[in-house]
């Protein structure tokens, strides 16, 4: 054992590290993004790159623009009157704000989970199958397989397997939110955007969803907006701190929480303001 | 007297005032109904429903009026339902909130308050004269459709507005187009409210008299209409005609016809209430 632990030159160690963990692919990129609501500028010149199979947390006080930015990745801001965006947002190297981009196609790649669980007033099965059905998929065995797989992936299967025809509204809040995640997974997106997904849930349901994110990270790229510092610290690889429309600091979560470079970040995560 | 005592007296007296108000309206309606039922109930039988109009009150029936009302009812529904609901969906879901949209909104609200005789004159000019439809069932239905369109549009919009946006967001976020979202989520969730509005609007239409008189519905039509281009009469006009005759027999006939008309209206309102309760119970957010 001792013999194999030869001391290496720093450069060699770096190369070894690279071999163990090849650099991850960039999946989301924002270049000089400005967002306006009428005359109000909600985001100011944001630049960010987000890697594949990672969890990135957006933190910051209310109204700092983090949710607005999240919604730029699946163009859910499109329906807000007076919304306008400058700069480029690239998903998988494709500019998504191009005129000829079909938003419906984009949203199959970029799923979203909302703050309050919002299941459709339909059965559990129909909720999960919805995204596939609107794509025109009618094959029953295919739909069934996908629904079962998605429910298993969110660890809801054992709780609902005997009542797939029951209304989704009869589930508890935590179950509903996991159902909403399953509904998103069924479409097989690359990216899952989560807008404060646990803020309406009790601690146990929250823990379940956090646990779930660790699993989902293997197959999906997750971007999560959260008001809960501990949550950001627990689950994310990278953290971005927003303040008044600016991206103040972005880096490894450990670094942001233990050794932030900006005073404002320090003040926020230690609870001195916000 | 303490303040609390004073407040209690004010509270009590307002409660009494409210009860009196409620029963005042109900009592008048009850007296009216009582008089009509006493006078007309005995006159209603199968012959009364299936007999053609006649100069002799004992032989006169309301068959042509009932058939005319049914024709008007069906045609008006077929015209006003798709146009009204379509316009409501457009204004609520598609139209951008511009100045033009708010101008449209105000105008539609205003149209709902325009006296029905004005719609009659409009129908007379456009449908009867310019389109050359004459005093036909179709001209009457088109006129009544205009009359109830604003009501249907407003009701549709209110029903659509009540669907939480979180449901629409969820659908859009899964890659559904706007129409898929409306068809699969918004409409099913609001259909109870939409149908309630439509049925209430139509039950208003079957009670309308003035616009149809202007358009040219006749008081005496010897045959029930058999096509949309036929001449027609409806129950309110028949009632109006009978009431204005001097013979007592026709007054009895009018009462009997009022009972039949009221039954039809109550039935339609009952259906509307049934739908509303049924769908409201099903969806709890």
Where do the domains of chain B lie? 3-43, 48-282
Q: Does some domain include residue A17?
A: no
Interface test with A, best of B92, B99, B162, B170 (most A CBs within 10 A): B170
Q: Tell which A residues from 43 to 82 touch B, by Cβ distance under 8 Å.
A: 74, 76, 79, 81
Q: Does B269 touch chain A (CB under 8 A)?
A: no
In the prediction, which pLDDT does A274 show? 53
Q: Does A180 touch chain B (CB under 8 A)?
A: yes
With bands split at pLDDT 50, 70 and 90, how would you rate the model's confidence at A29? very high
Separation between Cα atoms, residue B284 and residue A78, nearest integer Å: 28
CB contact under 8 A, A107 and B164: no
Q: Are strands A40-51 and A26-37 parallel, antiparallel or unpaired?
A: antiparallel
Cβ proximity of A55 and A236 under 8 Å: yes
Residue B173: list chain A partners with CB under 8 A.
74, 76, 107, 111-112, 114, 184
Alpha helices (H) along chain A = 10-20, 66-70, 103-109, 124-133, 140-153, 157-160, 173-186, 203-216, 229-235, 253-258, 263-269
Is A107 in the B-facing interface, judged by CB distances under 8 Å?
yes
pLDDT at B285: 52
Q: Is B166 an 8 Å CB contact of chain A?
A: yes
Report d(CA B199, CA B209) in Å as an integer.
18
**Would you state the pLDDT for residue A21?**
59
* pLDDT surpasses 50 at A1: no
Banded pLDDT at A82 (limits 50, 70, 90)? confident
Does the pLDDT of residue A223 top 50, yes or no?
yes
Compare CB distances from B175 to A104, A116, A169 and report the shortest one's residue: A104
Residues of B in contact with A77 (CB under 8 A): none
Total domains in the fold of chain A: 1
Q: Are B211 and A144 in contact (CB under 8 A)?
A: no
The answer on pLDDT for A12 being more than 80 is no
Alpha-carbon distance of B284 to B72, in angstroms, equals: 36
Two structure tokens written together for A266: 């320090």
Helix B235-243 and helix B63-89: axis angle, to 10°?
Answer: 130
Distance separating alpha carbons of residues A61 and A69, to the nearest angstrom: 14
Residue A212 lies in a domain: yes
Three-state secondary structure call for residue B1: coil
The pLDDT tens digits of the residues spanning B141-184 come to: 999 999 999 999 999 999 999 999 999 999 999 999 999 999 99
Q: How far is B7 from B277, CA to CA, in rounded Å?
A: 37
Of the candidates A74, A81, A121, the beta carbon closest to that of B173 is on: A74
Question: Between chain A and chain B, how many beta carbons pairs sit less than 8 Å apart?
Answer: 64
CA atoms within 13 A on the CB side of A194: 34
- Collapsing DSSP states into helix, strand and coil, what is residue A9? coil
Maximum alpha-carbon separation in chain B? 75
Quick check: is A80 in a domain? no
Determine contact, residues A168/A120, Cβ cutoff 8 Å. yes
- Cα-based distances in Å from A137 to A133, A143, A210, B176: 5, 8, 31, 13
Quickly count: other Cβ atoms within 10 Å of residue A264's Cβ: 18
Name the CATH topology of B48-282: MetI-like fold (1.10.3720)
Buried b (16+ CB within 10 A) or exposed e, A156-168: bbeebeeebeebb
> Who has greater pLDDT, A48 or B271?
A48
The tally of CA atoms less than 13 A away on the side-chain side of residue A82 is: 9
**Residue A183 and residue B176: Cα distance in Å, rounded?**
13
Q: Which residue has the higher pLDDT, A81 or A180?
A: A180
CA A115 from chain centre, in angstroms, equals 12
Q: Would the CB atoms of B171 and A120 count as touching at under 8 Å?
A: yes
pLDDT, one tens digit per residue, over A133-188 is 999 999 999 999 999 999 999 989 999 999 999 999 999 999 999 999 999 999 99
Look up the domain containing A207 and give its range.
54-73+102-269
At A2 the pLDDT is 46
Tokens of B211: 């616009």
Structural domain includes residue A210: yes
Closest CA to A220 of A255, A192, A195, A253: A192
**b vs e for A210-235, b when ≥16 Cβ sit within 10 Å of the residue's Cβ?**
bebbeebbeebbbbbbbebbebbbbb
What is the arithmetic mean of pLDDT over A99-113? 92
What ranges in chain B are assigned the alpha helix state H? 3-40, 46-50, 63-89, 99-111, 116-123, 137-161, 165-173, 178-181, 187-205, 210-215, 235-243, 248-282
Rg, chain A, Cα only: 20
Between strands A55-59 and A83-91, the pairing is unpaired
Average pLDDT over residues A37-55: 94
Q: What are phi and psi of A195, to 5 degrees?
A: -100, 95
A237: pLDDT strictly greater than 80: yes
Residues 179-218 of B with CB under 8 A from A: 180, 184-185, 188-189
Contacts of B164 in chain A (CB under 8 A): 118
Residue length of chain B: 285
| Residue A109 covered by a domain | yes
Is A101 touching B (CB cutoff 8 A)? no
A121–B177: do the CB atoms touch at under 8 Å? no
Comparing C-alpha atoms, which of B232, B240, B236 is closest to residue B215?
Answer: B232
> How large is the greatest C-alpha to C-alpha distance in chain A, in angstroms?
68
Nearest-angstrom CA–CA distance, A136 and A149: 19
As a residue count, chain A comes to 274
What residue of A is the nearest CA neighbor of B96?
A81
Q: End-to-end CA distance of chain B: give it in Å, rounded.
A: 47
- Assign A18 a pLDDT band (cuts: 50, 70, 90): low
Angle between helices A173-186 and A124-133 (to 10 degrees): 30
In this prediction, the residues of chain B whose per-residue pLDDT falls under 70 are 280-285
**What is the CATH classification number for the domain harbouring A181?**
3.40.50.300
Q: CA–CA separation, A233 vs A252, rounded Å?
A: 10
User: Chain A within 8 Å of B174 (Cβ-Cβ)?
Assistant: yes
Nearest 5 degrees, angle CA B53-CA B55-CA B61? 25
Question: Is pLDDT of A72 > 80?
Answer: yes
Q: How near does any CA of chain A get to the CA of B178, in Å?
A: 9
Residue B162 near residue B211, CB atoms below 8 Å? no
Mean pLDDT value across chain A: 89
Which structure tokens are listed for A184?
Answer: 């998103």
Q: What whole-number distance in Å separates Cα of residue A54 and Cα of residue B10?
A: 66
Nearest to A223 by CA among A109, A55, A37, A52: A55
Residues B154, B156, B161: CA angle, nearest 5 degrees: 95
């Amino acid at each position: 054992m001792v013999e194999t632990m030869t001391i290496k030159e720093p450069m060699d160690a770096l190369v070894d590290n690279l071999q163990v963990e090849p650099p991850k692919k960039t999946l989301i990129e924002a270049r000089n993004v400005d967002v306006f609501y009428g005359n109000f500028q909600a985001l100011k010149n944001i630049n960010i790159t987000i890697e594949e199979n990672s969890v990135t947390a957006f933190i910051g006080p209310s109204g700092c623009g983090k949710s607005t930015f999240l919604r730029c990745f699946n163009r859910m801001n499109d329906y807000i009157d007076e919304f306008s965006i400058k700069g480029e947002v690239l998903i998988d190297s494709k500019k998504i704000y191009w005129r000829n981009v079909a938003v419906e196609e984009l949203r199959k790649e970029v799923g979203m989970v909302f703050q309050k669980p919002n299941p459709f007033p339909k059965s559990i099965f129909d909720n999960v199958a919805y995204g596939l059905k609107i794509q025109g998929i009618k094959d029953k065995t295919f739909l069934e397989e996908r629904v079962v797989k998605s429910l298993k992936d969110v660890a809801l299967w054992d709780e609902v397997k005997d009542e797939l025809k029951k209304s989704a509204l009869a589930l508890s809040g935590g179950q509903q939110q996991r159902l909403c995640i399953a509904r998103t997974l069924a479409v097989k997106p690359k990216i899952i955007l989560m807008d404060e997904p646990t803020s309406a849930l009790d601690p146990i349901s929250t823990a379940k969803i956090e646990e779930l994110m660790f699993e989902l990270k293997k197959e999906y790229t997750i971007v999560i907006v959260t008001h809960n510092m501990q949550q950001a610290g627990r689950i994310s690889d990278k953290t971005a701190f927003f303040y008044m429309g600016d991206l103040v600091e972005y880096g490894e979560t450990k670094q942001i929480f233990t050794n932030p470079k900006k005073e404002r970040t320090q003040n926020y995560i230690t609870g001195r303001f916000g | 007297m303490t303040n609390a005592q004073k407040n209690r007296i004010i509270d009590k007296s307002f409660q009494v005032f409210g009860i009196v108000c409620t029963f005042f309206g109900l009592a008048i309606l009850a007296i009216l109904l009582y008089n009509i039922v006493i006078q007309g109930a005995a006159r209603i039988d199968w012959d009364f429903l299936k007999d053609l109009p006649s100069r002799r009150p004992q032989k006169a029936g309301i068959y042509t009026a009932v058939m005319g009302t049914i024709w008007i009812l069906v045609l008006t529904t077929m015209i006003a339902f798709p146009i009204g609901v379509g316009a409501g969906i457009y204004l609520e879901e598609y139209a951008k909130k511009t100045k033009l949209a708010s101008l449209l909104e105000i105008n539609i609200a205003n149209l709902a308050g325009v006296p029905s005789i004005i719609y009659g004159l409009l129908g007379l000019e456009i449908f009867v004269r310019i389109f050359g439809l004459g005093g036909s069932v179709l001209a009457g239905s088109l006129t009544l459709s205009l009359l109830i369109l604003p009501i249907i549009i407003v009701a549709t919009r209110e029903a659509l507005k009540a669907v939480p946006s979180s449901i629409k967001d969820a659908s859009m976020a899964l890659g559904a187009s706007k129409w898929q979202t409306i068809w699969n989520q918004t409409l099913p969730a609001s259909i109870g409210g939409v149908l309630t509005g439509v049925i209430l609007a139509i039950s208003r239409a079957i009670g309308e008299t003035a616009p149809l008189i202007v358009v040219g519905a006749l008081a005496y039509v010897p045959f029930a209409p058999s096509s949309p281009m036929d001449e027609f009469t409806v129950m309110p006009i028949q009632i109006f005609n009978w009431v204005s005759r001097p013979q007592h027999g026709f007054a009895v006939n009018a009462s009997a016809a009022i009972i039949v008309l009221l039954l039809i209206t109550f039935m339609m309102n009952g259906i509307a209430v049934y739908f509303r309760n049924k769908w409201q119970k099903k969806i709890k957010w």
